[in-house]
């Protein structure tokens, strides 16, 4: 039988202290860099990283200088890395808030709560039109990841800059002591893919005029699926 998710060991008497030094977020960026990152993220998500040139990004970002991207970021790979740095810093800030609230209240951190703190902040990353463009960008990035030498995959990025993410992940693993590490890593990695796919599909349906559930309802259903997948007995 799978382990109960109501009161996992990881949720008992846990405390978390937010980082004293705030992570760098896009809100404190140079406005031109912020515009370029938003534009590049949208173009990469819509057309693919390989298909979009730096010149096209500069033009869509209303930069008169065709070499504006190179000036601010360098290569395309460095621009992709900058997008990841900015977005995961924003996500980390949100996870810190959620984790601090939960632990300060003395709440037991169930598998569902821990998964929610991992994935809901990513679902909250919306562009100016209310779409989950970052989720679509991440789907494209995963496909092209090995093409970018020197860029760490998001799950392998410097843990010192993601203390909340690291703590949530550690407690989640502790709450599933019977799950082998390899199985845990496999399931959490593909659950991330699943969440992004669900968000992107919702945006696509909206664009076609289809009636869709609210983002909140969709996330609840996705979390139901995620919990079921994670607590299932290890395969043999």
Report the alpha-carbon distance of residue 205 to residue 212 in Å, rounded.
7
pTM reported for the whole predicted model? 0.84
Which residues neighbour 161 within 8 Å (Cβ) at sequence distance 6 or greater?
23, 89, 92
Q: Is residue 3 part of a domain?
A: no
Taking only the tens place, the pLDDT of each residue in 174-187 is: 999 999 999 999 99
Report the phi/psi class of residue 234: left, alpha or beta, with left for phi > 0 and alpha for psi in -120 to 50: beta
Burial 119-145 (b: 16+ CB within 10 A, else e): bbbbbebebeeebbbbbbbbebbeeee
Q: Is residue 7 part of a domain?
A: no
Q: Does 152 score more than 70 pLDDT?
A: no
Q: Is residue 83 part of a domain?
A: yes
Q: Is residue 15 part of a domain?
A: no
The 3-state DSSP class for residue 120 equals: helix
Q: Is residue 194 part of a domain?
A: yes
127, 42 in Cβ contact below 8 A? yes
Residue 68 is part of a domain; what is its CATH number? 1.10.357.10
Report the alpha-carbon distance of residue 119 to residue 91 in Å, rounded.
9
Please give the pLDDT value at position 121.
95
Taking only the tens place, the pLDDT of each residue in 33-54 is: 999 999 999 999 999 999 999 9
Taking only the tens place, the pLDDT of each residue in 69-109 is: 999 999 999 999 999 999 999 999 999 999 999 998 888 78
Mean per-residue pLDDT over the chain, rounded: 85
Domain that holds residue 186: 23-231
How many domains are contained in the chain?
Answer: 1
Give me 154's structure tokens.
């998001």
């Amino acid at each position: 039988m799978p382990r109960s998710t109501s009161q996992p060991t990881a949720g008992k008497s846990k405390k978390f202290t937010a980082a004293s030094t705030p992570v760098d977020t896009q809100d404190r960026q140079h406005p031109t860099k912020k515009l370029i990152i938003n534009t590049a993220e949208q173009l990469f998500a819509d057309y693919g990283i390989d298909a979009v040139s730096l010149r096209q990004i500069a033009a869509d970002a209303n930069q008169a200088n065709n070499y504006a991207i190179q000036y601010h970021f360098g290569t395309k790979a460095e621009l992709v890395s900058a997008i990841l740095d900015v977005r995961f810093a924003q996500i980390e800030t949100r996870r810190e808030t959620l984790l601090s609230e939960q632990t300060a209240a003395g709440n037991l951190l169930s598998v569902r709560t821990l998964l929610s703190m991992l994935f809901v902040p990513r679902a909250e990353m919306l562009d100016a039109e209310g779409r989950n463009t970052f989720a679509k960008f991440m789907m494209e990035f995963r496909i092209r990841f090995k093409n970018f030498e020197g860029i760490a995959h998001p799950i392998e990025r410097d843990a010192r800059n993601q203390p909340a993410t690291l703590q949530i992940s550690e407690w989640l693993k502790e709450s599933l002591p019977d799950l082998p590490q390899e199985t845990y890593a496999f399931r959490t990695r593909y659950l991330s893919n699943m969440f992004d796919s669900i968000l992107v599909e919702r945006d696509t349906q909206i664009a076609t005029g289809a009636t869709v559930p609210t983002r909140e309802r969709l996330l609840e259903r996705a979390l139901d699926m995620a919990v079921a997948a994670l607590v299932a007995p290890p395969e043999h």
